[in-house]
């Protein structure tokens, strides 16, 4: 069975976790700091705050901005639920924006349209999404954000190892903060894990405090004393998870190289099937780590709907997935904000399908997926 994504765990990963299990620290120990240091080295950011998952990372970033009821944040609708939900956790409103129909990525023009639609709402921040490994044009969006005095947090959960221009995803060269996920299907796996990177020491200290109930301890306090100046959460990542993360980070470059090679093979094999099946649209400023390989398919031209195609592929041991249903269409958000017409996101969603992609795949696996896809679709290159 070839799922759309899968972790790659070796004996050295298992040994790293086992060594931590035999140590004195299962949580709040040295592996936490070791992972944060490794993530800073991989991204170039000054600070990293590790937490339990990507959703917590997004929430911590929103908390660092002091979002509250009455504020609003622009979020692209083509993303996972957590990107928008983190805004709502703080009581702020979500202003959904459209995306490119070709790439699924938010652009500066989409920000401007969303701000116009926001009317007199107090928009304080934007959360662009690096989607499937491809990066938004951070410089262009940052320039638009600066014109409106907005903070920018990038959802980087798909893009560890990606680069754009001379920048690494998560470097915070343009954004104020970047949120990561280390779910098993991501570039590296912690089982569950997340982190925020930033170059702002004040935000870093605040997020580190908020992930541990908001507790603060200063050198002048007695050994048992701490205080809690604001409400926090239990968002810690354990040393067990971080030990796996540290081991996986050592393989980041190899994982990224393999993903790029597999994606390149997919593209070469699928190009003859255009325009019915189209490889992901490439952006000339970005070198993606390819968290996902999502093709665009003209299902009407094929004469088969997406559900039927996915079912038939599954019968051939090829797992696929759809990333994502536009979030503004979810009942919670339609009940709150009503219906929206975001045609770029709708066009992308209607045609997208994520094919299997993970480092343990071999060239023969990619060829098999393409053979099964083209055979079921009844098209020849």
What is the chain's pLDDT, residue by residue, as a tens digit (381 residues)? Answer: 999 999 999 999 999 999 999 999 999 999 999 999 999 999 999 999 999 999 999 999 999 999 999 999 999 999 999 999 999 999 999 999 999 999 999 999 999 999 999 999 999 999 999 999 999 999 999 999 999 999 999 999 999 999 999 999 999 999 999 999 999 999 999 999 999 999 999 999 999 999 999 999 999 999 999 999 999 999 999 999 999 999 999 999 999 999 999 999 999 999 999 999 999 999 999 999 999 999 999 999 999 999 999 999 999 999 999 999 999 999 999 999 999 999 999 999 999 999 999 999 999 999 999 999 999 988 876
Helices 54-64 and 201-210 pack at an angle, to 10 degrees, of 120
| Six token digits for residue 347 | 């066009």
Of the listed 142, 186, 206, 258, which one is catalytic?
Answer: 186
Where do you find CATH 3.40.640.10 in the chain? 11-249
| Six token digits for residue 102 | 């070709």
**Residue 64 backbone dihedrals phi, psi, to 5 degrees:** -60, -30
Give the C-alpha distances (Å, rounded to integers) separating 215 from 23, 87, 208, 225, 230. 25, 23, 9, 10, 8
Architecture label for domain 252-377: Alpha-Beta Complex (3.90)
| Six token digits for residue 182 | 């280390």
For residue 258, indicate whether it is catalytic.
no
E strand residue ranges, the chain: 47-51, 71-76, 93-97, 122-126, 151-155, 163-164, 167-168, 177-181, 194-198, 277-278, 286-287, 293-297, 352-355
Determine whether 179 is exposed, middle or buried from the number of CB atoms within 10 Å of its CB (0-12, 13-18, 19+). Answer: buried
How many angstroms separate the CA atoms of 278 and 352, rounded?
Answer: 10
| Six token digits for residue 126 | 């934007």
Q: Which candidate, 326, 355, 157, places its Cα nearest to that of 267? A: 355
- Matching residue, tokens 């541990």: 212
11-249 CATH fold: 3.40.640
CB 217 within 8 A of CB 225: yes
CB 257 within 8 A of CB 166: no
Task: Quote the DSSP letter at residue 279.
Answer: P
Where do you find CATH 3.90.1150.10 in the chain? 252-377
CB 229 within 8 A of CB 214: yes
Q: Which candidate, 364, 233, 376, 380, places its Cα nearest to that of 305? A: 376
Which H helix or E strand runs over 62? helix 54-64
Local structure of 194: helix, strand or coil: strand
């Amino acid at each position: 069975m070839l799922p759309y994504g899968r972790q790659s765990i070796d004996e050295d990963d298992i040994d790293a976790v086992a060594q931590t299990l035999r140590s004195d620290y299962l949580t709040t120990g040295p592996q936490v700091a070791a992972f944060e240091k490794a993530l800073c080295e991989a991204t170039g950011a000054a600070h990293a705050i590790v937490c339990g998952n990507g959703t917590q990372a997004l929430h911590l970033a929103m908390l660092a901005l002091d979002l509250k009821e009455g504020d609003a944040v622009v979020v692209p609708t083509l993303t996972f639920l957590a990107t928008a939900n983190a805004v709502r956790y703080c009581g702020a409103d979500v202003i959904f924006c459209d995306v490119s129909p070709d790439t699924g990525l938010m652009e500066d023009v989409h920000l401007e349209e969303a701000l116009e639609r926001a009317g007199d709402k107090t928009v304080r921040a934007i959360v662009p999404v690096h989607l499937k490994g491809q990066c938004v044009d951070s410089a262009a969006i940052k320039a638009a954000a600066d014109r409106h005095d907005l903070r920018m947090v990038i959802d980087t959960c798909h893009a560890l190892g990606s680069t754009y221009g001379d920048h690494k995803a998560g470097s915070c060269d343009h954004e104020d903060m970047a949120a990561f996920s280390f779910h098993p299907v991501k570039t590296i796996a912690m089982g569950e894990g997340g982190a925020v990177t930033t170059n702002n020491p004040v935000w870093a200290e605040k997020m580190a405090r908020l992930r541990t109930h908001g507790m603060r301890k200063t050198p002048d306090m007695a050994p048992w004393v701490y205080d809690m100046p604001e409400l926090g959460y239990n968002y810690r990542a354990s040393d067990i998870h971080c030990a796996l993360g540290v081991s996986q980070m050592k393989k980041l470059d190899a994982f990224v190289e393999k993903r790029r090679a597999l994606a390149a093979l997919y593209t070469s094999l699928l190009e003859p099937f255009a325009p019915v099946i189209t490889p992901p649209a490439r952006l000339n400023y970005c070198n993606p780590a390819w968290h996902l390989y999502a093709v665009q398919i003209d299902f009407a031209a094929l004469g088969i709907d997406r559900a039927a195609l996915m079912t038939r592929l599954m019968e051939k041991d090829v797992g696929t997935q759809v990333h994502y249903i536009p979030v503004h269409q979810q009942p919670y958000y339609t009940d709150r904000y009503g219906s929206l017409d975001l045609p770029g996101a709708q066009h992308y969603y209607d045609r997208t399908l994520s094919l299997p992609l993970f480092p343990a795949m071999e060239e023969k696996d990619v060829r098999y997926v393409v053979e099964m896809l083209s055979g079921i679709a009844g098209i020849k290159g």
